[in-house]
Amino acid sequence: MSRAATKRARQRWLRVVVLGLVGAFLAYPLYALAEFSVRFPLTGNYSVDAWTRLFGAGDGARLQPLYTGLINSLGIAALTLTMMFVLLLPTMVWVRLRLPRLSRVVEFVCLLPLTLPAIVLVVGLVPVYRFIATQVLDTHAIWLSFAYVVLVLPFAYRALDSGLSAIDLGTLVAAARSMGASWPTVIGRVLLPNLRGAVASAAFISIAVVLGEFTIARMLARENLQTGVMLVNQAAPQVAAAVSLLTLLFGIALLVGLSYVTTPHRAKKRS
Amino acid sequence: MTASVAGATAPRARLARTARDAAVTLPFFGYLTVFLFLPTVIVIVGAFRNRDGGFTLDGVSKLFTPATGQIFLTTAWLSLASALIGAVVGAVAAYALSTVPLTSPLRRVYTAVSSVLAQFGGVMLAFAFISVLGKNGNFTRLMADAFGATVPGDFLTSVPGLIVVYCYFQIPLMIIVFLPAVDGLRQEWRDATENLGGSTWTFWSRVAGPILLPSFLGSFLLLFANAFSAYATAAALISQRTIIVPMAIEGAIRNENDTGMDSYAQALAAGMIVVIAVVMALYAALQRRAGRWTR
């Protein structure tokens, strides 16, 4: 008994030390970011000036790229989510029901963007976007959504896949169809309510990806939140620090919230 | 159900049905053709074409100049070092985290923070490190006040500095990709080792170690690929020099004077695809081995 007790104590000790040290390494830069945003570099005085400026007190002209970027990024996030769900969810449902042999292909294709660096993808996207901007649409930043759908695909796929695996898809669809429901009704009113957790999960992660994306926007010379932060950093580094911190904390809050959606109450007992 | 109905009908009808079924997936595959496959093809084909569409090896031949070779080597070294540190530290942290109950707030916050830092940080992580190690950084001042030591002004733009910053997303990435593997370690295996007289050392070296090794190596490769493709963090820290491949790509894309630079950018991107493809092929092979123990 005492041997087991020492072992448990040792394990607890290891857990505290390791998680404490790594946690400190992860948290320290976030703390420094917060301090940087309120500390005036030359004098060392503290003031919340950067934060009041950020929330609208004057200085609109210098912070303009930031506001433009934020508005663009929110719009892009909304459009990306819509397109992603419209393209992905019906396809995944259909493939599971009717074309099971295709499911490996869909999985492979969806996970492909994980291995394709954004910087490589954008090299190939330059001509595609040149065509879109001149022949089809315009150069507005909102069309970055087309590329972002590809970026969020792996994350969304994994979330939706685990959601679809957890429900009895065939029975639900057969029941709804035999009652005369159309396919849109099946997806909107039967499947979506059963997939709330997975859909929320896919949406949250996708929002985090879109708000943090920089590479593609920069190379295609479109303005989003990150390129805005980058620009503002030259004129007002403290404001840029404040925005970075807020964005990171927002992302963390999204994902913590998400973990409560996906594993709500009691844990599955670890075997 | 579908199969039996289809089996009873004539082959022609079955074919028509399959075609109709497949047609539903067209929007999905059509979209990806334009925004995923086409760009990839443009990169690979473009590496061998000049502006007029003719075949050329100019871009590819530039890959084998000493300057470009050096950039690839630096990128590989940076990726290797940060992946090694990230994999070792992250693996230990993932194990420690796996001993925490799944629903405890500590674990939820830890994995959420790791996930954000690992995947969505980019530019913001660079700013965070400027506020730590920059000229007015918290750590810089701490060192100066406490020990009179100075952090070199260009530390963050040097390769060792980049390694430190990269660890800030590599360690969290290791935590989230390695956590499922250590979560899969069963208490029964430990008990069995103990009942047979094995020590903790025996358990780690003879049981858990060999089981985790493929996952560990696989995660390490993933970290390597991740660092190799990272662009945003370095771009936010370094503005004038080109030290890693993604920055060289940016330089080539933005160059308006030399029309040969287009194919150079595409050749660089194709070079990255080759490196990543090799790494991912190894990863897939390891994943198959690791898969034996994950069910």
Distance of CA A267 to the CA centre of its chain: 25
Tokens 């629903």 identify what position?
Answer: B103
pLDDT band at residue A266 using 50, 70 and 90 as cut-offs: low
Tell me the three-class secondary structure of B124-178, residue by residue: HHHHHHHHHHCCCCHHHHHHHHHHCCCCCCCHHHCHHHHHHHHHHHHHHHHHHHH
Nearest to B38 among A15, A33, A128 (CB): A128
Residue A93 has pLDDT above 60, yes or no: yes
Per DSSP, B25 falls in state T
Using a CB–CB cutoff of 8 Å, tell me whether B2 touches chain A: yes
Tokens linked to A17: 């030390």
Is it the case that residue B212 has pLDDT exceeding 90? Answer: no
- Considering only alpha carbons, which residue of chain B is nearest residue A17? B96
Nearest residue to B86 via CA among B109, B117, B107, B110: B117
pLDDT confidence bin for B9, thresholds 50/70/90 = low
Eight-class DSSP state of B239: S
Q: B187 vs chain A: nearest CA distance in angstroms?
A: 7
The reported pLDDT for the residue numbered B257 is: 61
Q: What does CATH list as the number for A59-270?
A: 1.10.3720.10
In CATH terms, the fold of domain B60-293 is MetI-like fold (1.10.3720)
Asked if B269's CB is within 8 angstroms of A124's CB, the reply is: yes
Tell me if B273 and A266 make a contact (CB, 8 A cut-off): no
Percent of chain A predicted with pLDDT > 90: 4
CA distance linking residue B169 with residue B101, whole number of Å = 24
Judging contacts by C-beta atoms under 8 Å, the chain B residues touching residue A33 are 127-128, 131
Provide the pLDDT confidence category of residue B6 given band limits of 50, 70 and 90: very low
Tell me the average pLDDT of chain B. 80
Residue A51 burial (C-beta neighbours within 10 Å; 0-12, 13-18, 19+): middle
| pLDDT at residue A43 greater than cutoff 80 | no
- For position A271, what pLDDT does the model report? 38
B146 at interface of A, judged by CB pairs closer than 8 A: no
Q: Output DSSP code: residue B155.
A: G
The residue among B18, B113, B127, B231 with the most chain A CBs within 10 A of its CB, best to mutate, is: B127
Best of B4, B18, B25 to disrupt the A interface (most A CBs within 10 Å) is B25
Angstroms from A119 CA to nearest CA on chain B: 6
pLDDT at A267 over 50: no
Q: CB contact, 8 Å: A87 with chain B?
A: yes
Tokens standing for B90?
A: 């992250």
Most confident of B30-44, B55-69, B74-88, B270-284: B74-88
Determine the average pLDDT of the residues in A197-221. Answer: 85
Residues near B182 by Cβ (< 8 Å), separated by ≥ 6? B91, B94, B95, B98, B212
Per-residue pLDDT, averaged over A228-232, amounts to: 84
Residues within 8 A of B (CB atoms), A 35-54 only: 35-36, 39, 41
**pLDDT for position A150:** 92
Please check the confidence at residue B123 and state whether its pLDDT lies above 60: yes
Does residue B139 or residue A75 have the better pLDDT? A75
Looking at chain A, which residue has its C-alpha nearest residue B142? Answer: A32
Q: What are the tens digits of pLDDT across the range B138-190?
A: 777 777 777 777 777 777 778 888 898 899 989 998 888 888 788 777 777 87
DSSP assignment string, A107-151:
HHHHHHHHHS-HHHHHHHHHHHHHHIIIIIS-S-GGGGHHHHHHH
Q: Mean pLDDT across the stretch A244-259?
A: 85
Return the minimum-mean-pLDDT range out of A227-231, B8-12, B30-34. Answer: B8-12
Residue B139: the pLDDT is 79
| B36–A26 C-beta distance less than 8 A | no
Band of pLDDT at residue B67, cut at 50, 70 and 90:
confident
Query: Which of A135-149, B69-83, B122-136, B145-159 shows the lowest mean pLDDT across its residues?
Result: B145-159
Mean pLDDT value of segment B248-270: 75
> If you measure CA to CA, which chain A residue comes closest to B99?
A15
Query: If we measure between CA atoms, which residue out of A180, A127, A212 comes closest to residue B115?
Result: A212
Residue A63: what pLDDT?
74
Nearest CA in chain B to A247: B124
ipTM value of the model? 0.79
pLDDT of residue A42: 66
Q: For residue B8, what pLDDT is reported?
A: 52
Instruction: Identify residue A13 by its one-letter amino acid code.
Output: W
Judging contacts by C-beta atoms under 8 Å, the chain B residues touching residue A50 are none
Reply yes or no on whether the pLDDT at B256 is more than 70.
no
Comparing CB atoms, the residue among A26, A219, A254 nearest residue B117 is: A26
Segment B268-279 shows an average pLDDT of: 86
| Parts of chain A belonging to CATH 1.10.3720.10 | 59-270
Chain A interface includes B293 (CB < 8 A):
no
> Does residue B148 or residue B267 have the better pLDDT?
B267
Q: pLDDT at position B250, please? A: 82
pLDDT at B131 over 50: yes
pLDDT of the residue at B80 = 92
| pTM for this predicted structure | 0.82
Closest residue on chain B to A171 (Cα) = B1
Average pLDDT value over all residues in chain A: 82
B73 vs A264, residue with greater confidence: B73
If pLDDT is split at 50, 70 and 90, which confidence band does B248 have? confident
Minimum Cα–Cα distance from B34: chain A residue: A128
B83 pLDDT band, cuts 50/70/90, is very high
- Quote the pLDDT of residue B295: 46
A31 reaches B (C-beta below 8 A)? yes
- pLDDT-based confidence at B85, cuts 50/70/90? very high
Percentage of residues in chain B having pLDDT higher than 70:
90
Q: How far apart are the first and last CA of chain B?
A: 29
Which span out of B98-107, B108-117, B248-257 was modeled with the highest average pLDDT? B108-117
Across the range A68-95, mean pLDDT stands at 89
Question: Which pLDDT score, from 0 to 100, does residue A58 have?
Answer: 61
Closest residue of A to B277, CA-based? A115
Smallest CA–CA separation between B135 and chain A, in Å?
A: 9
Closest by CA to B67, choosing from B251, B262, B199, is B251
